[in-house]
Chain A
């Protein structure tokens, strides 16, 4: 089962500043813009990259969910590609 749309959302959290800013205030709304299963939405809500990896997402894309975590928002990782 492809997890393309889940992967795309995670990609956009890092690479699309507009998507990221909207996700900070309305993550449910942003999730609604992608074709996601209930399991995928729950994994995203958990904020745990390991749960995303279990759904088949590339490991590095999984880490992008951390950008929504207040502890990681200013991480230097987001200042480089």
Chain B
């Protein structure tokens, strides 16, 4: 059956942190890397407005997901030194666990994992020359939990976490991520179940860098415009370096979903820079 829904959304922790003291904590820690730490920061009212805008964007994506009546949600995200460390960094990893769990401050998350779909993707990859890493245990982290809090707050369907290494150099090329998306689309087509997919991360941000606080909104808007026009395949022409320069390394997660949808036009986009670290982006493709 063809994919029934494709989504992409930022996973910035401050989307789910409470405006006020928790945002201050977040800013204080991240800005210890850079002199911009003394720059003006968003007021409490601005923080609340950003949260409201993000909730509205997530509500639009959730409506599309629910309308699609998906049986499973694939979640494409990057690990950030929770499951993988420098002794072994998988470029692409498929979760073959029975269930997956995680925590974010006072929020807990627990979902069934669609192991069978994961195995089908791993096997299809081996047939087509994409050799995924795989494993039977992962811990969910903010890269999944933040969007899932808004999009799938009740574990009504299983998920399938797939990881892309966007975090440790060298990262895969946008074209390779696009090819992974094409493969997932083929596997979904062979499935009798209704498969939806979500990419998380981005958009422009520079965590752990002296450039923290910079947001390349111009580049982000260009990416969103290309997706609205249905020119997603052209995004595979970007180099990793071009994405890194714009702070868009996590767009590699999105490239997997772009590979799934090909030339379909994004039917919903929303964008808001948080004036702290990240350009928050939200996209849905009604398929």
Residues of A within 8 A of B (CB): 4, 7-8, 11, 14-15, 49-50, 53, 58-63, 66, 72, 75-77, 79-81
Q: Are A11 and B81 in contact (CB under 8 A)?
A: yes
Inter-subunit contact B82/A15 (CB<8 Å): yes
Additional 14 contacts, C-beta under 8 A, given A4-B87, A76-B25: A11-B85, A15-B82, A58-B81, A59-B33, A62-B33, A63-B32, A75-B25, A75-B28, A77-B29, A79-B104, A80-B103, A80-B104, A81-B141, A81-B142
Residues of A within 8 A of B17 (CB): 76
In contact, B85 and A60 (Cβ under 8 angstroms): no
Number of A-B contacts (CB under 8 A): 74
**How many residues belonging to B are interface residues under a CB distance threshold of 8 Å?**
31
A60 touching B207, Cβ below 8 Å: yes
Does residue B242 face the partner (Cβ distance < 8 Å to A)?
Answer: no
29 contacts between A and B (CB under 8 A): A7-B86, A8-B86, A11-B81, A14-B81, A50-B210, A53-B33, A53-B210, A59-B33, A59-B207, A63-B30, A63-B33, A66-B32, A76-B17, A76-B21, A76-B22, A76-B26, A76-B105, A77-B13, A77-B25, A77-B29, A80-B103, A80-B104, A80-B105, A80-B141, A81-B80, A81-B102, A81-B103, A81-B139, A81-B141
A6 to chain B, nearest CB (A): 10
Report the minimum CB–CB distance from B194 to chain A (whole Å).
30
Is the CB of B168 closer than 8 A to any CB of chain A?
Answer: yes
Query: How distant is the Cα of A76 from the Cα of B29 in the complex, in angstroms?
Result: 10
Are A72 and B81 in touch, CB under 8 angstroms? Answer: no
3 closest cross-chain pairs (CB), A and B: A59-B208, A60-B208, A81-B141
| A61, A77, A80 — most chain B CB neighbours (10 Å) | A80
Contacts of B86 in A (CB 8 A): 4, 7-8
Q: Give the shortest distance, in Å, between B55 (CB) and chain A (any CB).
A: 19
B25 touches A50 (CB 8 A): no
B267 at the interface (CB under 8 A from A): no
Chain B residues within an 8 Å CB radius of A75: 25, 28-29
Whether A80 pairs with B13 at a CB distance below 8 angstroms is yes
Chain B residue numbers with a CB within 8 Å of A8 are: 85-86
A11 contact set on B, CB distance < 8 A: 81, 85
